[in-house]
Structure 1
Amino acid sequence: MNEETNIMIGFTESLTPGAFEARQGAIPVPDAGELVVRVEAVSVNPVDVMRRSQPPAGGFGILGYDAAGVVTAVGAGVDGFRAGDEVFYAGSLAMAGSNQRYQRVAARLVGHKPRSATFGEAASLPLTALTAWETAFDRFRLTRESTGDLLIVGATGGVGSILTQLVRALAPDVRVIATASAANADWARAMGAHDVVDHHGDLAAQVQSLAPQGVSWLFSAHSSGQVETYAQVVAPFGTIVAIDNGPRDVAPLMQKSIAWLWELMFTDPLFLPESHHQQWILDQVAGLVDSGVVRATTTTNLGTISADSLERAHAAIATGRTVGKIVLEGWAN
């Protein structure tokens, strides 16, 4: 396709197979405070599938909340970026996503891509790294001086894989207990987990055998039907951070004064228009990647960005059994 034309891959109907299609449009122009990025790679997250469950506004919705690419235009008032810079970011629910050749994005949400990472590797990081960082250091408030046990439920997913690495690197005296299936236990250990328990078994008994006094912190990617178990394994005055949505009764946590917190990395982009916190986090993560402390969690590369490859990525994510991250890199034309 013509290099001066934007390629946009969107969906036209909620959760309908084959509803992704490619369209051509004008290359966007940045508003003040924005960048335009030529997208070189994207990854697919559960939020993409969740957003696709609703009919798209205007009949054509462009998803994608992870990207790595090259800055092509810089809006007024933007410092720290220029055309040609390699960047990575997760963007915002309020703007069209990264499943397009050229994307407008708020500069305050963009970090400089790790120099040592490919575009595909970099695209696997932003959403999960932001979620993991905010969980560990903004919600749990872990520091290098923290001690205690952290249970990561869903440790082989995208967020759990990065969370394990960040905690091992920046809160080294915290013991990480990971949940994983037997088939994926080696992945959790490779990410740095001290201990791994089988989440298909008796979770409470396994965790209590490792932490009889209870864990101080619990991260949950899969909370449905688990609150009573969490009440058993979390220590009095402990903290739970959940990233999955849906109703649940947290009353069982009251007796031990356990705090239940939510983590949604899109809160900052949606409600804190002056915040550069996520840009700072991404730059910290890039430094950790370049120093070899944190590694990208790409496990599957489905090839170039297209309607077909996005369909296959969404189908895989919808199973709820993926390990690490799925990326798409490059364009066919």
Structure 2
Amino acid sequence: MKAFTINKYSKTGGLQLTDMPIPVVKEYDVLVEVHASGLNLLDSKIKTGEFKLILPYKFPLILGHDVAGVVTQVGAKVTKFKVGDEVYSRPPDFRIGTFAEFIAIDEKDVAHKPKNLSMEEAASIPLVALTVWQALVEKANLKKGQKIFIQAGSGGVGTIAIQLAKHLGATVATTASEKSFELLKSLGADVLIDYKKQDFESVLKEYDVVLNSQDKKTLEKSLRIVKPNGKVISISGPPTPEFAKAIKAPWFVKIILSLISSGIRKTAKKLNIEYSFLFMRAEGKQLQKITELIESGSIKPVVDKVFPFTETNDALSYVESGRSKGKVVVKMK
């Protein structure tokens, strides 16, 4: 099968289009013929080696964390899916590889594709929607009437986070450039801050939750707009010792993460705010709940551009540029 791979970590090199063997199907796996694959900054960060301490991959490595396609083979113990089912998934770490013609995924990490979405739209959903679900529902326990600040509202995570937060009954503030305001209003954002002209710290006060996806400086400012006992959940770091423990990282990784996150954890503790780092996990059951929200119209995908599979490098460059509104997808056919 054709696949885009890397043979080493590199900040400059692109992905190579190569021939790879079709994955072996284990007893609980479904083999998915890939119709479309979503791209994420995570792909770029893995390519450059930014996560090699946390995710030590072996080479050659097929990148890609989002897939929509059709089941072509099922393992002997698979019960939830059959050949011909249309599915989507965020495969788990160490089993990624959606920039390819086929991928084998454990059935527990797969969900039926929403009936009202195209393959390209469905491929844009899993990673960002699971990130948002795990941040807002699991970690924040976001409630009706609470206020949440979602940074970078026009990005892949932001566009879904605004919609889920509104579904949960929260008031939503977000940052973006003015040209994205119309889109974000249509998704449900209540307070719109033009990051080029305004400082969110002078506009927002007494928020219950912040979803941080930006740099350290933005994270530090975010702590100052949260009320005591509020929560700041970061998907861009710094990772914490608790996170290292959760992924069963070696002892030295725990020490490194403890050091790099100590400043922000101390500041949060002083302000009586709960700081946590989220690195989302694959979870088919949660994705099935997200399917229900999509089919009911509570969440809709926001896809900026669809590239042909052969132009996966161009698609990844576009994601890295930070210009995309919503998600970028490659399609096979």
The bucket for the TM-score relative to the shorter chain is 0.7 to 0.9
Unmatched tracts of structure 1, length 5 or more: 1-5, 209-213, 270-277
Q: Would you say the 8 A contact 2:68–2:119 is kept in 1? A: yes
SS state of the match for residue 309, structure 2? coil
Which of residues 185, 189, 196 is equivalent to 2:192? 196
Residue of structure 2 equivalent to 1:233: 225
Q: Percent identity?
A: 25
Distance in 2, matches of 1:315 and 1:224, equals 24
Q: Would you say the 8 A contact 2:80–2:107 is kept in 1? A: no
Q: Would you say the 8 A contact 1:227–1:252 is kept in 2? A: no
Distance in 2, matches of 1:326 and 1:96, equals 18
Residue of structure 2 equivalent to 1:37: 32
Distance in 2, matches of 1:72 and 1:97, equals 17
Q: Would you say the 8 A contact 2:268–2:274 is kept in 1? A: yes
Distance change in 2, residues 1:22/1:241 (3 Å): same
TM-score w.r.t. structure 2 length? 0.86
TM-score w.r.t. structure 1 length? 0.86
Distance in 1, matches of 2:58 and 2:190, equals 48
Residue of structure 1 equivalent to 2:278: 263
Tell me the amino acid that sits aligned with residue 228 of structure 2: P
Of the structure 1 ranges 110-119 and 55-64, higher mean CA displacement relative to structure 2 is found in 55-64
Deviations 1:85-132 (A, max 9, x none): 000011022114111101011110101001111100000000000000
Which of residues 265, 283, 299 is equivalent to 1:294? 299
Tell me the amino acid that sits aligned with residue 213 of structure 2: A
**Is 1:136 aligned to 2:148, yes or no?**
no
Q: Would you say the 8 A contact 1:219–1:240 is kept in 2? A: yes
Q: Would you say the 8 A contact 1:223–1:242 is kept in 2? A: no
**Is 1:125 aligned to 2:122, yes or no?**
no
**Is 1:166 aligned to 2:169, yes or no?**
no
- How is 1:214-225 mapped onto 2 (pairs within 5 angstroms)? 214-225=206-217
Residue of structure 2 equivalent to 1:185: 181
Distance in 1, matches of 2:229 and 2:132, equals 21
Tell me the amino acid that sits aligned with residue 41 of structure 2: P
SS state of the match for residue 160, structure 1? helix
Residue of structure 1 equivalent to 2:245: none
Distance in 2, matches of 1:18 and 1:230, equals 35
Distance change in 2, residues 1:19/1:150 (3 Å): closer
Unmatched tracts of structure 2, length 5 or more: 239-259
Of the structure 1 ranges 285-294 and 242-251, higher mean CA displacement relative to structure 2 is found in 242-251
Distance change in 2, residues 1:223/1:19 (3 Å): closer
Number of corresponding residues: 304
Residue of structure 2 equivalent to 1:74: 74
Which of residues 140, 154, 157 is equivalent to 1:156? 154
